[in-house]
Amino acid sequence: MNYRIVFLAFCTFALGCMALTTSAIAGDGANILSERCASCHDLTGPAPTTLEKIWQRKAPDLFYAGDKYEQAWVEAWLQNPKRIRPAGMFYMDHIKPGEKRDMVDDSTLTDHIKLSKADASAVAEALAAKQPMNSLIDAEKHDPAVSPGPLGEMMFDKFFGCMACHQIEPGYGGLSGPEVYTAGSRLKPEYMLSYIRNPQAWDPKIWMPNKHVPDVSIQKMVNYMVDLSKEDWNAKQ
């Protein structure tokens, strides 16, 4: 028997197997997304262009996830998801009249699907590659040196009326938008800047108004949200 030929054949076989497993791992995230996530999340775009479609949307659009989220946050959240929109995707479907003001009807909200560490990591990587809107991100420059001071919070709560829709602490603030006290760890700062500057550039029919906020005020409010996210909200609840 020619051992050299047998050895070479074995090596070719082993290399082939290695190539197969690596490509299977790389493709995993995309497969999980299409098989387990696409029934609720839009992974291809474009964003809804009618109010009817926006009200029927089941989950946040993920087709520009790489422009929007911090990859490490996505990986961690998918293993231990916690509610971000206090009254779900469309608040009108999940509120009931309370004594003084509307309250969230928790019985109508469901828990998010949980992933293993390996799956969450593969999905987070596949999502990070989705960056069709990166020209909007590249147009922004975040300045971490702009101190929010007390003005950052005043602007958010009062001057621009942002708190009417966003919670700045668990249970404190409006119900129709995502909580912002975790936004700083969830979102890229450039995404926050761009979204506040012009929400409709991202999502043409979204009900967040464009308040034409001057750049320095946007920077202050973003840094206010970044600071909020550094607090340990789990310990306080």
**How many C-beta neighbours within 10 Å does residue 105 have?**
15
Q: Does 164 bind ligand HEC (CB under 6 A)?
A: yes
Q: Judged by CB under 6 A, which stretch of 30-38, 47-55, 130-138, 145-153 contacts ligand HEC?
A: 30-38
5 or 112: CB nearest ligand HEC: 112
Q: Which of residues 129-148 bind ligand HEC (CB under 6 A)?
A: none
Among 122, 175, 192, 228, binds ligand HEC (CB under 6 A): 192
Give Cα 215 to chain centroid, integer Å. Answer: 23
Q: State the nearest-atom distance from the C-beta of 187 to ligand HEC, in Å.
A: 6
Q: State the nearest-atom distance from the C-beta of 138 to ligand HEC, in Å.
A: 18
Contacts of 114 (CB under 8 A, 6+ apart): 78, 79, 80, 81
Strand partners, 96: 103
Q: Does 205 bind ligand HEC (CB under 6 A)?
A: no
14 or 74: CB nearest ligand HEC: 74
Residues of the shown chain interacting with ligand HEC in the complex, contacts defined by CB under 6 A: 32, 36-37, 39-41, 58-60, 74, 78, 83-85, 89, 112-113, 115, 123, 156, 160-162, 164-166, 176-178, 180, 183, 186-187, 192, 195-196, 206-209, 211, 213, 221
